[in-house]
Chains A and B, each alone.
Chain A
Amino acid sequence: MFGIDWETIGPLYVRAFGQTLYMVSVAMLAGGLAGLVLGTLLYTTRRGGLLQNRLVYNVLNFVVNLIRPIPFILLLAFIGPVTLAVVGTQIGTEAVIFPLAIAASFAVSRIVEQNLVTIDPGVIEAARAMGASPLRIILTLLVPEALGPLILGYTFMFIAVVDASAVAGIIGGGGLGDLAIVYGYQRFNYPVTLLAVITIIVIVQLVQVLGNALARRALRR
């Protein structure tokens, strides 16, 4: 069907699909959480913030700016030694997840910071006037108040991580990107490339639709 030899490609496709989902979801979970913490720290330590701290802010800000512009394919190689130390190997799916999570957490931290900045300072002032501690405000107010835009930001990030995960193949991480290049492009089997691309498009569309729906609920419009 579709000019694809399902006998051989079928199992490979299923495996690649699983690898992509695995890489992207673990990286999003870990990176999303780390990015949330990092972004909240950026937001609260900035001037006029709840935990205003120039030194912490400047250091974090510098590190985020340092890591973020590095193209993912280079980051993969650049932090190889760290990956080896943390994951125990520099090749394979797990070895892709680590740099993917790192890249995601730095990008998410900016998204989180930018969305928290849009919270009306008056709302935080009201909570302070009630005697709420900075920690309570951070834990119970910041995320709920910015939830709608945060969901959209995470949706955007998820898609960026799917994009980045396509280069996993170069260190033996597999995934749909690898399938498209190795079995499609390099073997002149265009239908396989098309299959991988369509699958990625479908994943991205589904996530976007879901993200939009959740954000709409959070914003109640």
Chain B
Amino acid sequence: MGQYQGNAAAVRELVRETEVHRDVYVDQEIFDLEMEHLFANTWIYVGHDSQVPNAGDYFGTSIGKQPVLMVRHTDGEVYVLYNRCPHKGTRITIDTCGNAGKFFRCPYHAWSFKTDGSLLAIPLRKGYEHTGLEGSEAAKGIPRVRHVRNYRGFVFAKMSDAGLGFEDYFGESLSSIDNLVDRSPVGRLEVAGAPLRHMFNCNWKMLVENLTDTCHPMVAHESSAGTAVEVWKQMFPGANTKPPAVEIFAPFISPYEAYEKMGIRVWRNGHGHTGVHHSIHSDYSSVPGYFDKMVAAYGEARAKAILDENRHNTAYFPNFTVKGPIQAIRQFKPIAPNRTLAESWTFRLVDAPDQLLERTVTYSRLINAPTSVVAHDDLEMYERAQEGLLVDANPWVNIQRLYDPTEAGQDTAVVNGTSEWQMRNQFRAWSKFMTMSL
């Protein structure tokens, strides 16, 4: 047995007010406990219900390290099933998405299950007569994730009975999902195509912290965003209108003052967002016809209020982020202490002009692809940190910037955009949800 299993006090000691111990990033036992406790006690994003529009449609993903299936049942409900046959453990489906028809059929021994997971039939069933099968785990069918909530199309699940109810857990942070959905004149989103999938040799929390790290873009992205602006000026001297790609790159190298003024909002349970007052998405050129559609749908005042929100990253604890103004989401899937899969999805705003999707697609390609120069900048920093943390001389990571001794008692706040409050907020939540069932 290691030093953390069953030892909540030792886990709590890893998170100080303004420092975090490197074991949260590098230690295998801590990672295993995160999978067992943190990812069970929190609400994890599973998928979007537009990925399973029809009965029998399924989408395969994972919660923590466990494979799950999001499926549309014949009653119209979306269920989340653990992706294993109750018989021998075989994954029922291996592809990312498909349609099961009226039932799932395990490819190994042909046990079949309704799309809510319940056992439908077993071949040669008489072999189980008088064996007491009805009392077995297998007879219960494909196990279902117990707590599932479809919030305006975004399906979240919580594996454990511990933790908080959905509304209590997310609270006001749901306003960022609301804003993303409201950007469609008919209030509906559709996943547009496959995700970009980029593998990082670093801990998943480094990608989460980076979402609200506003003191790195002008440094780490000087090489990409800075070069983009310079090359554009050289190639098109005197041009006023930036091409779409440069319009996306340029704000990344905004000066410190701009990021300070953007503001950060934090909410309890580890959620928060950058871009309270303005953001890197504020100055995109307008798309013809879009505002008129929004006014027709919502009235002018409401349409303006929806589109004036320019939240950059809304970090939903633990591993999900929503980027409303660019209609994209990202999820950081933990694979190992030093291995994380980042998946980036783009959305179509139903009934909005195609140019919005075009901008989203361009943004995702330029910023979040394994081929993206901005992603190359970031990956280099995370992986250097993962290696540097092996130094024993200093096992602590500093998250002290603009620390306020009263902040732990505050449910929500709007602060200077370069504050590391949101990182501290995440680690307070980390400590809470890690230890509540330990």
A and B part of one assembly: no
A-side interface residues toward B, CB under 8 Å?
Answer: none
B-side interface residues toward A, CB under 8 Å?
Answer: none
